[in-house]
């Protein structure tokens, strides 16, 4: 679809290098600055889908910006400015090579592992007798790291992170503390919107001065799973699926069409009509998560708009 941004080839002022992730393109600039462009790419099962989702990048960037502003009193973050709906600019950091995943409920990956008979996840015990979407007695931290080969995320325990020297014990204690504080605040924000923050992931980096800060995104539908609070218990009691706000609906559609990112599997065809429904769901996610109406940015020429807005920011 023409009203999406899938690839980026910008040349920003002071640009030194660029890294294209699954969803974001990250530009390293002069003066220890980082610029992230949130594209409309959609990733599921660690595979980037062939078509973009209209307004998805804007939605992710604006939710992340709002959530960073709403949590900066608890945890410092990298963000300095959002000069364009799809762009965030902040302090360059050395990322920790772990994602801090925290789960309040037995859902998604944890539920799939539980159904397979596992009762330990990343070295953390999961109680017997739970059913899918039940709350854990207390939130559990189940970190992930990138596999040695490729971009695939792998479960890893706290003990293995420390024994392999991926993160020092001193830093890891801070990462865990920040993760729990952010999840608690995210849970409170979600509750005000009639939502339950089910699980999420946080990424952290270290500044040149040695300060640990929150980086990347926070509490977006790509990094988090939400349930609607209304009717949650009734659905659990009736063994019905939960009504949720996340990109899990895309994963379920892919599973129904015989795709889970496994070797030999082909991404199913996504019609323009289906892409439009995904875009509408993301807009619904935005409005429910933020409590604000979504204002669509001008998408007649997204690349030119981004270039102009970033130039105006640096010319100030």
d(CA 202, CA 217): 7
Q: Contact 21/265 with Cβ under 8 angstroms?
A: no
Question: In which band, very low, low, confident or very high, does the pLDDT at 1 lie, cut at 50, 70 and 90?
Answer: very low
- Is there a domain that residue 302 lies in? no
Mean pLDDT of 11-30: 92
- Is there a domain that residue 31 lies in? no
Residue 20 neighbours by CB under 8 Å, 6+ apart: 7, 8, 26
- Is there a domain that residue 100 lies in? yes
d(CA 102, CA 309): 35
Question: In which band, very low, low, confident or very high, does the pLDDT at 213 lie, cut at 50, 70 and 90?
Answer: very high
Please state, rounded to an integer, the average pLDDT across all residues of the chain: 93
Burial (CB count <10 Å: 0-12, 13-18, 19+), residue 171: middle
d(CA 23, CA 200): 17
Mean pLDDT of 64-87: 96
Q: Contact 133/111 with Cβ under 8 angstroms?
A: yes
The neighbour count for residue 173, using CB atoms within 10 Å, is: 11
**Which candidate, 106, 1, 47, 99, places its Cα nearest to that of 255?**
47
Mean pLDDT of 212-218: 94
d(CA 115, CA 131): 9
Domain CATH code at residue 119:
3.30.470.20
Q: Print the domain residue range for 194.
A: 95-245
d(CA 254, CA 269): 10
pTM value is 0.89
Q: pLDDT tens for residues 280-294?
A: 988 988 999 999 999
d(CA 60, CA 227): 18
d(CA 59, CA 93): 24
Q: Which two tokens stand for residue 208?
A: 């040149």
Domain count, the chain: 1
- Is there a domain that residue 84 lies in? no
- Is there a domain that residue 103 lies in? yes
- Is there a domain that residue 235 lies in? yes
d(CA 223, CA 248): 11
- Is there a domain that residue 53 lies in? no
Confidence (pLDDT) at 150: 53
- Is there a domain that residue 225 lies in? yes
Mean pLDDT of 200-208: 96
**Residue owning tokens 């999840």:** 183
How are the residues of the chain apportioned to helix, strand and coil, as percentages rounded to the nearest 5?
A: 30, 25, 40
């Amino acid at each position: 679809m023409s009203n999406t941004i899938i690839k980026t080839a910008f040349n920003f002022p002071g640009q030194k290098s660029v890294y294209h992730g699954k969803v974001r393109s990250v530009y390293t600039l002069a003066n220890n600055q980082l610029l992230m462009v949130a594209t409309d790419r959609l990733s599921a099962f660690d595979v980037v889908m062939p078509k973009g989702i209209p307004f998805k990048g804007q939605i992710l960037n604006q939710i992340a910006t709002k959530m960073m502003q709403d949590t900066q009193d608890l945890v410092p973050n990298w963000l300095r400015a959002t000069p364009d709906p799809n762009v965030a600019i902040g302090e360059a950091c050395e990322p920790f090579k772990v994602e801090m995943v925290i789960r309040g409920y037995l859902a998604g990956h944890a539920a799939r592992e539980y159904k397979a008979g596992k009762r330990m996840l990343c070295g953390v015990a999961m109680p017997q007798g739970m059913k899918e979407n039940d709350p854990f007695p207390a939130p559990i931290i189940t970190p992930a790291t990138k596999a040695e080969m490729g971009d695939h995320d792998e479960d890893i325990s706290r003990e293995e992170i420390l024994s392999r020297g991926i993160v020092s014990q001193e830093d890891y204690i801070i990462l865990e503390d920040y993760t729990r504080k952010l999840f608690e605040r995210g849970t409170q924000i979600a509750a005000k919107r009639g939502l339950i923050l089910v699980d999420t992931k946080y990424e952290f980096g270290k500044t040149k001065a040695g300060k640990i800060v929150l980086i990347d995104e926070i509490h977006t539908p790509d990094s988090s799973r939400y349930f609607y609070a209304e009717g949650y218990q009734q659905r659990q009691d009736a063994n019905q699926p939960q009504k949720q706000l996340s990109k899990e609906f895309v994963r379920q559609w892919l599973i129904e069409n015989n795709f889970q990112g496994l070797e030999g599997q082909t991404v199913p065809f996504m019609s323009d009509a289906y892409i439009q429904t995904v875009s509408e769901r993301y807009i619904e996610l935005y409005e429910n998560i933020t409590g604000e109406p979504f204002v669509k940015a001008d998408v007649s020429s997204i690349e030119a708009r981004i270039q102009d807005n970033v130039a105006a920011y640096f010319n100030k």
